[in-house]
Amino acid sequence: MFELENSLYNSKENVLNELLHNYGIDSTELQRKQLLGHIELLIEINERLNLTRITSIDDALILHILDSLLPLKVCDEFISCNRNYIDIGTGGGFPGLPLAIMSNNKTLLVDSIGKKVNAVQSMINEIGLEEKVKAEKLRAEEIPNTYKQKFDFVTFRAVAKTNILLEYAEPFLAFQGTLIVMKANVDEIELQDASQAAKIFGYENVSRETFELPNDFGHREILLYKKVTKSKIKLPRKPGMAKTNPFVARRA
């Protein structure tokens, strides 16, 4: 049982409950306590280590918790299954830690920056989630053999353009696994590049859903892709190549 002295729980539990309820996201008391525990620890650690620019609790409820949980609205399988999930470029644990709290998936949170990962692992321990969630320093392009084709779900929030994320995710995804891309805005060029990349790397486009966050906090898009066949190109390429030399032709 989660024992963290959680003062936020007393002051914000109702606000969070209503916020999630308004978006049709059901949560238990324990889940709300854990979600708020994450924010409380994040803001405390952020005084020493720069993990987020969002320092107001009310803003964090929307921009970190609600935003992180939007995939639950578009991917029913995520919550109904007990699978392997990885969040790549997790930063302060978003969206991976809130999504782990709301599901039974065995979760791995990775980032290329070690001090962020250490901070996230300390939050996982403090909240008492170490049985199902682990944080690890890992650069997407340096996937160890043990993680190849292991994951049923891969998420990215605010990490790179979608064509690059399709390339990063491919070696991690199991056959029929789902890539969940979370974005503030996606323009037509990004979508066209992503479509081309999806064909090369063996994905099927599943869906594109849009959301408006409350209080004019902005537009959000969630793109889903399913891994359906082998990539035409052997991945991963050398670190940095996906960004500096993407497969999709650049325009003048």
Residues that bind ligand SAM (CB under 6 A): 88-92, 94, 111-113, 116, 139-141, 157-159
Q: Is 48 annotated as a binding residue?
A: no
- Closest to ligand SAM by CB, 14 vs 84, is 84
> Nearer Cβ to ligand SAM, position 156 or 203?
156
Query: Is the CB of 13 or the CB of 136 nearer to ligand SAM?
Result: 136
Question: Which H or E run contains 120?
Answer: helix 114-127
Report the nearest approach of ligand SAM to the CB of residue 38 (Å): 12
Minimum distance from residue 241 beta carbon to ligand SAM (Å): 11
Spell out the alpha helix ranges (H) of 7-113: 7-22, 29-45, 57-60, 67-69, 71-74, 76-80, 96-101
In whole angstroms, how close is the CB of 10 to ligand SAM at the nearest point?
26
Is 94 assigned to a binding site? yes
Q: Which is nearer to ligand SAM, 39 or 88 (CB)?
A: 88
Identity of the residue, 48 or 251, whose beta carbon is nearer to ligand SAM in the bound complex: 48
Single-letter code of the amino acid located at 116: K
Q: Is 140 annotated as a binding residue?
A: yes
Q: Are strands 84-88 and 106-111 parallel, antiparallel or unpaired?
A: parallel
Which residues pair with residue 173 across a beta bridge? 151
* Dist CA 33 CA 208 (whole Å): 31
Asked if residue 89 belongs to a known ligand binding site, the reply is yes
174 close to 152: Cβ distance less than 8 angstroms: yes
40 annotated as belonging to a binding site for a ligand: no
DSSP-derived secondary structure for 175-234: EEEEEEEEES---HHHHHHHHHHHHHHTEEEEEEEEEEETTTTEEEEEEEEEE-S--SS-
CA 205 to chain CA centroid, nearest Å: 18
Q: Cite the annotated binding site by residue number.
A: 89, 94, 140-141, 157
Q: Cite the annotated binding site for S-adenosyl-L-methionine by residue number.
A: 89, 94, 140-141, 157
